[in-house]
Amino acid sequence: MMKINISQLRKDPGSAQPFSFKTSAGELSLDNPEVWVESMVVDGCIINKGMIYEVTGKIRATINQCCSRCLEDMVTILNVAFSEEYREAEFEKSGEALVQEINYFSGDEIDITDLIRENILLAEPIKPVCSESCRGLCPECGVNLNINTCGCNSIKTDPRLAVLEKLLSKD
């Protein structure tokens, strides 16, 4: 659990308080915690804006992945910025209109565990590639085209157009 104690921050509107956490994929209940290389580092600052507390910061994490084009192992380094606003839960019950973008908390602590989990999940690449110039695998023989070339015919004719190809050949 990543909880920020704001008891001192409450006393001084306009002030800021830095925070830093180390966490792991297991603590965040992420799927496949074994692919996350090291502990994740969360650094940030919380600002007292009167009735609203703004939490901003950055998450640094490393993940072992497989390139979606060539299937080689690779390491992805994530640097994820986040920003979220929190408001005390007693204001939620006061009859004011609820604001969708604001999270609510109670007591002297703000729990940012869900915020960190959500930002990590959104930042994780769906189809990671080892490089933008990755050529992938040959669809015929399966050779890694980044390392070797193959003799497979790279031009495929649509079987529905094979009859037209015969008309163009002058044999």
The two structure tokens encoding residue 52: 């609203």
First to last CA, the chain: 75
pLDDT band for position 80 (50/70/90)?
A: very high
Predicted TM-score (pTM) of the model is 0.75
pLDDT digits (tens, 9 = 90+) for 43-54: 999 999 988 899
What integer is the mean pLDDT of 99-108? Answer: 76
Q: Tell me what pLDDT residue 94 has.
A: 47
- In this model, does residue 170 exceed pLDDT 60? yes
- In this model, does residue 96 exceed pLDDT 70? no
Cα separation values, 105 from 25, 27, 132, Å: 24, 21, 43
Q: Among the residues of the chain, which ranges form H helices? A: 7-10, 89-92, 113-123, 162-168
pLDDT digits (tens, 9 = 90+) for 143-165: 999 999 888 876 777 778 878 87
Q: Tell me what pLDDT residue 31 has.
A: 79
| Backbone dihedral angles phi then psi of residue 166, each to the nearest 5 degrees | -65, -35
Residues 6+ apart with CB under 8 A from 122: none
pLDDT digits (tens, 9 = 90+) for 11-65: 888 899 999 999 888 888 887 777 887 789 999 999 999 888 999 999 999 999 9
